[in-house]
Amino acid sequence: MKKASLIVLICVFAVTAALAGALITLNVLNEWRIDFEPVPEPMIVIEAGDEFSPPEISAFLRGRFFAKEGIPAEVTSEGEADSSRPGEYVLSWSAELSGRTNKTSSHVIVRDTTPPEIVLIPEEREYILPGTAYDDPGFSATDSIDGDITGRVKIEREDDGKFLTLYYSVTDLSGNEAHAERTVKYDDPFPPTLTLSGEVEIKFYAGRQTYEEPGYAADDNVSGDITDRVKVEGSVDSETPGVYTLTYSVEDDWGNRAEASRTVTVVEPPKPRKVTVQKDYPQGGPLPDKVIYLTFDDGPGPYTAELLDILAKHNVKATFFVCGTGYTDLIAREEAEGHSVGVHCYSHVYGPLYASEEAYFADLWAMNEIVKEKTGSYTSLLRFPGGSSNTVSRFNPGIMTRLAAAVTEAGFTYFDWNVSSLDAGGTTDTGEVFLNVTNGIAGKNVSIVLQHDTKGFSVAAVDDIIEWGLENGYVFLPLTPTSPTVHHNIAN
Ligand code: ZN
């Protein structure tokens, strides 16, 4: 080899080597890398339920000096985010070209910040009654992610007696809360009831009794027994005649009121006096041979009208010894239909009645006032409760002896009886009443028969008794002040 050729060869080699070295150096200095475009956000936050598409990421191989525009590289992505479910997801991308690789990733946070919703069914009532359990018209709770969460609703109550407030709350699985509340008013439109015991109209003689409140009761639909809230206004002076009004009122917690009143009439006590009005039945002539005086005590009562019909059917007159019953209007009819009306008593309670002469006369006159009111005149006919021979008055020794004289002195004629139907305890049988009466009459010229027109079974015997009497030649007459009296032996 020539020396020149060798030099050339060495030079070429040197140049080539230098070039190669430069190229290698350049390649190193070029700093090849893979870029992602766009660079994904390290963290992506989205609301659950929103639409989400993963970012489209491209990759390029680039250097400082060469391939500045970049050579597209294939990208592989991994992971996915479910935007309908709250959670944290990782999306990652990797690219590789010419031995260069790169990786990147994004954290996708799907969060739920949307609160659920509580819907209340409206309360249509304007108010609810106090003390009643509240009947919730209903509610529902829904959440965009959890769906129907009605079952998780918690209710707290606040009740101050005037308003009831319900606080509804619910929390979804992500901790978002919803609240709702409703307030309903309590109201009570119903007044309490106020009931008076005893009579609403009370009458008694001044000085003979002391007024005692018979009592009352108040009941409320909400508060129950509110008797202790009843206010009583007015008072009674039992010594001074007059008309006294007692007013009772009560108010419930809701301002509903109830009222009642009672009238107490304190009557001037009757003064001893004589009866002057008399009626003489029938014609004043001599008595027939066989006379029956039918007499009925203790009425008028529920069977008196029927009895009057029976008597009218036979045109038979009888005698009624009347009491202060609830049927005293019938006294007018008894009188109008030609029967005799006598006083039996106002109140058939032996204890007070025979407590004193004063008490007896107060009662007698109380009844005689009613007789006058119904018939237009006082009666002078009388029958003692229990008869003049009664022994029920023995707690007051001698009272019957004194009364028998006193009533006669006062102008009354009192009658006992000589035929008893035994309808006051001996029997309750209509057939036996008939037999007791007809057996009692048989053999007597004058019979004063005792029956009670307050007893239906006894009244039912009257039709047969009259027919029997008429068939057997008896005359039925009403008692008059000059009739045979038939007096028992006084036993007290
Ligand atoms: Zn009687």
Dump pLDDT digits (tens) for 227-249: 999 999 999 999 999 999 999 99
Q: Is 35 exposed, middle or buried (0-12, 13-18, 19+ CB in 10 A)?
A: middle
Measured in angstroms, how far is the CA atom of residue 403 from the centroid of ligand 1? 16
pLDDT of residue 277: 43
Distance 454 CA to ligand 1 centre (A): 10
Instruction: Please state, in angstroms and rounded to a whole number, the distance separating the CA atoms of residues 370 and 377.
Output: 9
CA distance linking residue 430 with residue 420, whole number of Å:
13
So what's the pLDDT on residue 138? 96
Residue 346 phi, psi dihedral angles, 5° rounding: -80, -50
Residues composing the chain: 492
Start-to-end C-alpha separation, the chain: 190
What's the pLDDT at 278? 41
**225 contacts 219 by C-beta, under 8 angstroms:** yes
> Is domain 291-476 annotated with CATH 3.20.20.370?
yes
- Structure confidence at residue 279 (pLDDT): 45
Which parts of the chain sit beneath pLDDT 70? 1, 269-285
The one-letter amino acid code at 338 reads G
- Neighbour-count burial for 422-444, b at 16+ CB within 10 Å, e otherwise: bbbeebebbebbbebbbebbeee
Distance from Cα 419 to the centre of ligand 1, integer Å: 15
| 316/329 Cα distance (integer angstroms) | 21
The H or E element containing residue 333 is helix 330-336
Rounded to the nearest angstrom, the distance between the alpha carbon of 353 and the centre of ligand 1 is 12
**Angle at which helices 399-409 and 357-375 cross, to 10°:** 40
Cα 276 to middle of ligand 1, angstroms: 25
Give the domain 117-185 fold: Immunoglobulin-like (2.60.40)
Both structure tokens of 81: 């985010």
Q: How far is the CA of 268 from the centre of ligand 1 (A)?
A: 26
- 191 Cα–ligand 1 center, Å: 44
CA–CA separation, 227 vs 252, rounded Å? 11
Closest CA to 300 of 333, 332, 323, 316: 323
Q: Which residues in the chain are classed under CATH 2.60.40.10?
A: 33-111, 117-185, 193-267
How far apart are alpha carbons 82 and 108 in whole angstroms? 9
pLDDT of residue 65: 81
pLDDT at 22: 84
CA of 299 to the centre of ligand 1 (A): 9
Q: Confirm if 245 and 261 have CB atoms less than 8 A apart.
A: yes
pTM (two decimals): 0.49
pLDDT of residue 272: 53
CATH architecture for segment(s) 193-267: Sandwich (2.60)
| Dihedral (CA of 305, 309, 315, 318) sign | negative
Residue given tokens 């002391």 in the structure block: 210
CATH topology classification for 33-111: Immunoglobulin-like (2.60.40)
Domain ranges in the chain with CATH number 3.20.20.370: 291-476
pLDDT at site 281: 45
Provide the percentage of residues in the chain whose pLDDT is more than 70. 96
Q: Calculate how far, in angstroms, residue 297's C-alpha sits from the geometric centre of ligand 1.
A: 5
pLDDT for the residue numbered 45: 95
Which residues participate in catalysis according to the annotation? Answer: 297, 452
The pLDDT value given to residue 26:
81
